[in-house]
Amino acid sequence: MQRNINAKYVGRILDTTIYAKPIPENIIKDPYIFEFLGLRFDYKHNENTIETALINHLQQFLMELGKGFAFVGRQQHFVTDTADFYIDLVFYNYYLKCFVLIDLKTHKLSDEAIGQMDMYVRMYNGLKKREDDNPIIGLILCTEKDETIVKYSVLADNEKLFASKYRLYLPKEEELKQLIDHDRLNWEIDNTN
């Protein structure tokens, strides 16, 4: 609880209890704070190092993800007629009643990452989704987001694909306040249109 207070968790996510039916936009956060991993933030880590650290700190990672997440698998293997694919992390959210696929990137959001996640979501919907599940959600965790790529990619039109930044350290209070204010402004703009 102290970690969530220090991370200003309440200010980073809308209260989903006020909605009759939870929606992904109110469950998926941006940014995610992974300071509990204890990784140096002034060092360039590879995806495997961060993924392994997240699994080693699974309880804290689930708390950072938010309400209703259950761990399903790591490096989940898919075989199609022509190729093999591996999804970094798979969760199930019992509030949303759907699988959540997470692709971890150690760089800025790219159109290639968005295309890859779109394909993973389509594959998972076709191969793994049960009849009583809601459509799969794809979440790309990246170090930075390019708003132009977000605006002109399938992220803009697909309510089941998300990109969120992550940080390996807890931002200073002023930086965190700016992030919260930026998110509130974007939320207000999105909900007035």
97-146, pLDDT tens digit by residue?
Answer: 999 999 999 999 999 999 999 999 999 988 888 999 999 999 999 998 88
Q: Please state whether the peptide bond connecting residue 31 to the residue before it is cis, i.e. omega within 30 degrees of 0.
A: yes
pLDDT at 17 over 50: no
What distance in Å separates the CA atoms of residue 1 and residue 174, rounded to the nearest whole number?
Answer: 21
> 26 pLDDT exceeds 90?
no
| Structure token pair of residue 146 | 């390019």
Per-residue pLDDT at 160: 87
Q: First and final CA of the chain: distance in angstroms?
A: 35
pLDDT for position 14: 44
pLDDT score of 20: 54
Confidence of residue 190 (pLDDT cuts 50, 70, 90): low
What is the Cα–Cα distance from 124 to 173, expressed in whole angstroms?
39
6 pLDDT band, cuts 50/70/90, is low
| Assigned token pair, 134 | 């809601």
Class of domain 24-182 (CATH, top level): alpha beta
Amino acid at 165: K
Q: What is the DSSP letter of 161?
A: E
Radius of gyration of the chain (CA): 16
* Most confident stretch, 1-10, 21-30, 95-104, 156-165: 95-104
Which range is least confidently modeled, 5-9, 53-57, 138-142, 152-156? 5-9
Cβ proximity of 145 and 109 under 8 Å = yes
Alpha helix stretches (DSSP H) within the chain: 2-6, 9-12, 47-56, 58-65, 111-127, 147-152, 173-192
Q: Which two tokens stand for residue 77?
A: 């293997």
Q: What are phi and psi of 62, to 5 degrees?
A: -60, -40
